[in-house]
Structure formats: C-alpha cells, structure tokens
Structure 1
Amino acid sequence: MMTEATWTLLRRVYLSDYPRIRRQLQRVVGSTEVADEALQDTYVRLAEGGRITEHVGSPKKYLFMMALNAARKILRRDKSRSRYIEVVEKLDPDIADDAPGPETTATARADVSAVRAVLATMPDRRRAIFIAALFEEVPLHEIADRYGVGLRMVQIELKKARQDIFERFKGANVVDFAASGPNGSEE
C-alpha cells in the first residue's frame, strides 16, 4: 500500500518535473490540450491521495504513466463524443444549424428598420458620432478630432442619441445599450 510519504514524493516530483512530463506527453498523444487536461487530472489524483497497492520504483515513470492513462481516457471520451455527434448530425441535419430561424430574422430586421428610423430623425452630427462610436468602434477622442468638437460634446451627443432611441422604444431591448436607460444606468 502506498504511504503518505510516497504521495508527497510524487507531488514534489510532479511539480519539479512538470515541464518535461508535459513535453513528453504532448509528443506521445499529439495534442497540447489533451496533455494539459491529462496533467490536470493527474494533479487532482495526486492531491486526493488514495490507495495504490503497487510499489513505485521510479516516481518520474510512475507519474508519466498516470498522466498517459488519463490522456488515454480523455482521448477515448472525445472519440466517443465525436462519434455521437456524427450520428446525431446524420439523423437530424438541422441540429447543428446555428443560423437564426425565420422568426428571429424577421424580428431582427424589424428592429434594424426601427433603429434606422430613429437615426434618420437625429441631427447629422449626432447620428455620425453615434454610428462612429457604436458601429465603427472609433475611440471617442478620435471622434472629437474628426468632428472638431471636444470630448465632452461627443459624450453629450452619445447620451442624446441613447435618449432618442430609449424614448422611441421605452426600454424594449432593441439595442442593448438603449435598454439600460437614457443615461446608461439601470432604470
């Protein structure tokens, strides 16, 4: 039976030899992700301790075999999942379709049309600042330079644009930032 001193020795060797074990395991299993997951499983097993009846002649070899066995389990699990996914996709080809359905598409188009209508009612500069900040992700200081206004004016125009949209939709979640309220705070 393995003693607590043996577990302590294995944990110490695991920590000191981790880079070498990781490289060797990566070469054997052919995957960094699987090697890392297997080493994590090995560490958990070491932390939990337990009963092992065999004698540990070489801690380094023993640790590598623990990690390799964990990697084999992971590879079998992943292969099994992969086969299951292939079967399910063959049975129902629409199951893996992440495309929005007709109802979602129609709602999104209506929302976009409604936001465009609100944008059309905004003053030109406000609309341009709003589009640059939200859709083009231009930093506010660059927008200020672009339109020859101060940073505070850009912030005011953005606040007014949010208010315009919020007022039009009265909190409907058409545009996420507008749903939080005209001042950007929860209402």
Structure 2
Amino acid sequence: MSAADTLAAQQVHLLYTDHHGWLYGWLRRKLGNTCDAADLAHDTFLRVMVSRCLPAQLGDEPRALLTHIAKGLVIDHWRRQDLERAYLEALAHLPEPEVPSPETRLLVLEALYRVEAMLRSLPARTREIFLLAQLDGLTYQQIADELGTSLITVKRHIRSAFGACLALG
C-alpha cells in the first residue's frame, strides 16, 4: 500500500468515526428501521470510498455530502420496496400451483429492479413512448398521432429504449 493509499484510508476511517453515528441516527429516523439504517449508512460510506473522494477534499461540511448520498440511497430503497410490494400483491392473486419458488421470486425481483432502473434512466419522452407501445399496446402510428409527433421520431425513441433493454444483458 502506497503512502497516498494509507493516508486516504486514515482519512476515511476518521470520517467514519466522526460521522457514522450521526448518519445512522439520521437514517434510522428517516426509515424507522434500524437494520435498513445500518445497511444504508454502510452503503453511504462505501460510495465515498469507491468515489475516491478524500474526506479532506470534502471541505468543512462532510455531512452535506453524506446526507446527499444517503438521500439518494433512501429514495432507491423506497423504490425497491414499492416494486417488491407490487410484485408480491400480484403474486397473491395467483393460484397456489402457479406461485413461484422463493428463489424464482428473488430472481424476478432482481430483474424488475434492473428494468425499473433502466426505465428511470431513459429520457421522459422515450420512456413514455416505450411504455405506450409495450404496456398499452399502441402501434407506433397511434403513438405518433396521440403525442402529435412524427412516426420516425417514435421509431427513434423506441430504438433507443430497446437499446437500453439490450444493455441490461
């Protein structure tokens, strides 16, 4: 380990010892759950370490950056909970023989999380056009007519959305 790496590790350790308790308390109040608060506090500091942003570079307000990162993680956490709740509600309506195994449910949830994140990353217009085609079953011409745009524009947005789908792997 180089001297720079050692210094960075010491700075992260100091940041952690100075602010972890505060961040954990803030997250606990926000989430109302100690386990999720502990996980997200850990993930927040992990993001700081991965970003290679040295605590010394954070200036006088390291809590502002920690709060910013943690807020994003909380929003992602709530999105995942909403998605999981909707999936479990849909499963509740299935006949017993058709209910997937716990392993399959976990795989489906992970795929849903990836798809939801991909859809969220699309520009709003592309997402709208893609969902009109995929969920509402509208033809490209119907979408163009409904949105008052050209057919070629609809096709361009659909192609972009399908490219994002393919990138999911």
**TM-score, reference length from structure 1:** 0.37
| Bigger CA radius of gyration | 1
**TM-score, reference length from structure 2:** 0.41
Q: Which of the pair is proportionally richer in helix?
A: 2
